[in-house]
Structure 1
Amino acid sequence: MYENKIVRIELKYGIVEMKPEQDYQEVIEKYTKDGWRFVQVFAPPIAGNGYATFYDLIFERQTNE
């Protein structure tokens, strides 16, 4: 059996660029060191301009159940 974890990275938009609130590479490294396996990044186009306002990083790990 597996358990899942979703970590949301909010995106902030400036005049010229968008910037994540956290460095997603550091987040992935942190969770993989804790035994989580990175599965996927999900970025839904939900803002009025068609761009995502966040990324969801999806992790999983096996449980003992």
Structure 2
Amino acid sequence: MYEHTFRRVELSAFNKKPKEDYQQIVFDFEKEGWELVQIFAPATSGYGAASYFELIFKRRID
């Protein structure tokens, strides 16, 4: 069995770049035993671009 967690990364409204270093987020979660499963981008906003994406992690429950 697994547990899951989700980490939202907001995107800049101007240039749509991540406001945080998502690579560092992945490294930090992996140190705690989490495995990256998917990066999810939601439906687009009014201007045709997402305002955030979510990193989805899982780890085994012992």
TM-score after normalising by structure 2: 0.91
Quick check: which has more Rg, 1 or 2?
1
Distance (whole Å) between structure 2 residues aligned to residue 34 and residue 8 of structure 1: 18
TM-score after normalising by structure 1: 0.88
Aligned length: 62
One-letter amino acid matched to 2:10 = E
> More strand by proportion, 1 or 2?
1
What percentage of residue pairs aligned between the two structures are identical? 42
Aligned counterpart, 1:61 = 59
Distance (whole Å) between structure 1 residues aligned to residue 43 and residue 11 of structure 2: 12
Q: Which runs of 5+ in 2 are unaligned?
A: none
RMSD after superposition: 0.9
Runs of 4+ with >6 A deviation: none
Contact kept in structure 2, 1:38 and 1:58, CA below 8 Å: yes
Contact kept in structure 2, 1:7 and 1:56, CA below 8 Å: yes
Aligned counterpart, 1:5 = 5
